[in-house]
A and B are shown apart, each in its own frame.
Chain A
């Protein structure tokens, strides 16, 4: 049993922290959210130059051989800074799908571009009727001329507007909710028949509704085995949960610490409001919620690094449940303890709260993961 980080992990943590502290202030972040792209291409290039985009990939694939723990460390710091660059969509989800399910040729084709920052990706898996059920698919891929033709509709595809490639889940056989018959494909985002409707999300990111109309892809676009893509998709989504959950843990830490500082300086009735016992206790509860989430984050990361299976899935779901509950508690209390200012757009508090609220919904909310945890 060991909860310490290796020297390399500590160096990575220090490097990302320093960059965020020095070059990623809240005002600049806000400007980016209002820009057309929604993030900074310059920042993305810098991330690539610093090697961060290659961290979760193996050395054989051109990465740095990091695992879930390294990805968690980075995401936690991204959460503290409310980073808007599409690390989750491109690196964790799209790159992750290719890393876990791709052939040597597919990895060689896509991963170098992802790692050097020249290729953006998005995972198109959600459908309007499916809520959090990954196998509830109406999008279909039919075999034709040695390849496939994809028809269907994908909802709320994160980073859809910027994506060069899409990893798309589609049904190659079976009924709408069957667990078998799900396949994943790598699709050129600019292929004929792909149409997008782009929009911002509540937390300042970008997403798209994407329609696939007779989109023809070659046989080598298939990721993994035909009809057996659900396991791969679950693995990728669980990696994504660790990532957004770690972001939430980072965001909760900022909210807790900022709230404590605010309560020490904000005076009412002639004294700092931090002297009021009832407020102190609320902050103690915020601290505890954050620490419980952080503890389960470590467990989830360690389980994922041990190997993907029921133990890892269970740990991830427990973490997501905790993050959902804690994020809401910490976010709501931070807003309340900041008073009226906490509700305004100028203060960072509300933006962390919005990100936490979105994270609760992403990849399955508390209720969904509570049930999944019980089933596993």
Chain B
């Protein structure tokens, strides 16, 4: 056992750090859009835009530790992750590679890999949230065009997206589901927006009424509900590198604490968070080590998401505690524009600007991060199954196994038809 990186890994870490230092404005408070665009071009040019994909599809072939190093460095410097952790790279691309048709792969993969198209996911429905098996959005088709109908809600990042990935039920095989690509500017989409509780993050609601799409826009083979139920809003490696972002935020909190008068309660909270962070770091390292060896994770990924989410919420709470009353100012979202904020001047210390919104935004993120909105309960349910904690009667086990087989068979038939 040893904590230190091997020489080869250290070299890689130095290479990644040098790359980020060269192409990202490290330490700069407000990053300009031109700088973000330059960073994206550099990452794509370097061939690191889809590192976790198979090499033949443009992946880097990194091992688990190298992925971890990349994620850690990116998180530490708070680099733009809107493409790297967007739905195109983390969900649509991998699904296309694993189960997509050739025509769909040809149509979409190159643009996703080149960070030329942005995707968002339409998973939720007004009546069933993210429970795929209860969804009513339906796609039909008889060998020609697809016909898509239904309502989707709580779609993140639609305003910036080019494509919408819609999870829909197959019209003639109700047990099976597919992922369908819909251009965001499709005239058949009726879109409305809501602002979430942080006052900044937007979620979209989309109505689709018999909209017609080319057949290659059906991205995947039909599959049972559970295949889609486990869609995640971030990659495995990003999930296992969250501690770096927490550590960076804790450093900023320490800088603030140093300016405040001694407060024992705050110190206890800060130290408690630091110990939790140390625990998360240690867990992440064990998981990455297991991945590198091809062994099962010591802790189910669901619980890693849950734990890192809890700690991120703690960070927000501690930040609010640090600033006391100055966490209260709640500027109009229009003033969230960093340039405007800069000209106007913050209310209270500059570090306090928007801490409440950040904490609330983290709450919103946690909702989507935790099992695509199904929340703590679903994550723990799944972990309980994983850990074989849940007791099942023998009749129930037989019944479930039979149902799963039936579903798989049905999905196979639907695939042939579509």
Contact = CB atoms under 8 A, between A and B. Distances in A.
Interface residues on A, range: 35 or more
Nearest to B390: A280
B268 A291 contact: no
Given A4-B293, A371-B271, A302 B3 contact: yes
B408 to A, nearest CB: 26
Q: Is the interface of A mostly helix, strand, loop or mixed?
A: helix
Contacts of B65: 1
Contacts of A132: none
A315 B289 CA distance: 19
Contacts of B393: 271-272
Interface residues on B, range: 35 or more
A288 interface: yes
B286 interface: yes
B391 A295 contact: no
Contact of B3 (A1, A4, A292, A373): A1
Interface in B224-239: none
A272 B397 CA distance: 14
Contacts of B9: 1
Contacts of B3: 1, 299, 302-303, 306
Nearest to A280: B384
Contacts of B2: 1-2, 302, 306
B275 A373 contact: yes
Contacts of A322: 275, 279
A221 interface: no
Contacts of B32: none
Interface in A242-295: 260, 263-264, 271-275, 277, 280-281, 283-285, 287-288, 291-292, 294-295
Given A275-B391, A284-B384, A291 B274 contact: no
Contacts of A371: 268, 271
B205 interface: no
Nearest to A290: B299
Contacts of B278: 296, 299, 315, 318
A146 interface: no
A216 B28 CA distance: 67
Interface string B262-275: 00000110111011
B289 A260 contact: no
A264 to B, nearest CB: 4
A294 B285 CA distance: 12
Nearest to A306: B3
B79 interface: no
B292 to A, nearest CB: 8
B282 interface: yes
B274 A295 contact: no
A322 B275 CA distance: 8
> Which of A1, A260, A263, A272 counts the most chain B CB atoms within 10 A?
A1
Nearest to B379: A284
Contact of A274 (B267, B279, B289, B389): B389
B5 interface: yes
B383 A1 contact: no
B310 to A, nearest CB: 10
A253 B16 CA distance: 39
B1 interface: yes
B283 interface: yes
> Which of A263, A287, A295 counts the most chain B CB atoms within 10 A?
A295
A319 to B, nearest CB: 9
> Which of A263, A299, A305, A322 counts the most chain B CB atoms within 10 A?
A299
B239 to A, nearest CB: 15
B381 interface: yes
Contacts of B391: 263-264, 271-275
A4 B299 CA distance: 16
B303 A288 contact: yes
B4 interface: yes
A306 B4 CA distance: 10
> Which of B1, B293, B393 counts the most chain A CB atoms within 10 A?
B1
Contact of A291 (B272, B281, B283, B384): B283
B289 A374 contact: no
B387 interface: yes
A4 B292 CA distance: 11
Contacts of B392: 275
B23 interface: no
Contacts of A373: 271, 274-275
A116 B24 CA distance: 61
A1 B63 CA distance: 13
A205 B109 CA distance: 65
B390 A1 contact: no
Contact of B279 (A69, A284, A295): A295
Interface in B282-307: 282-283, 285-286, 288-290, 293, 298-299, 303, 306-307
Interface string B243-283: 00000000000000000000000011011101100110111
A20 interface: no
Interface in B64-101: 65
Contacts of A280: 380-381, 384, 389-390
B34 interface: no
B1 A298 contact: yes
B6 interface: yes
A128 B346 CA distance: 54
- Top 10 nearest A-B pairs (CB, nearest first) are A274-B391, A295-B282, A374-B271, A272-B391, A280-B384, A3-B289, A264-B391, A318-B278, A292-B279, A281-B380
Given A284-B303, A295-B283, 18 more contacts: A1-B5, A1-B9, A3-B290, A4-B1, A277-B381, A281-B384, A283-B384, A283-B389, A284-B384, A287-B299, A287-B389, A298-B286, A299-B285, A315-B278, A322-B279, A367-B268, A370-B275, A374-B271
21 contacts: A1-B289, A2-B2, A3-B1, A3-B285, A263-B389, A273-B391, A274-B389, A275-B392, A277-B377, A280-B384, A281-B384, A283-B387, A287-B383, A288-B299, A295-B282, A299-B285, A302-B2, A306-B4, A321-B272, A374-B270, A374-B274
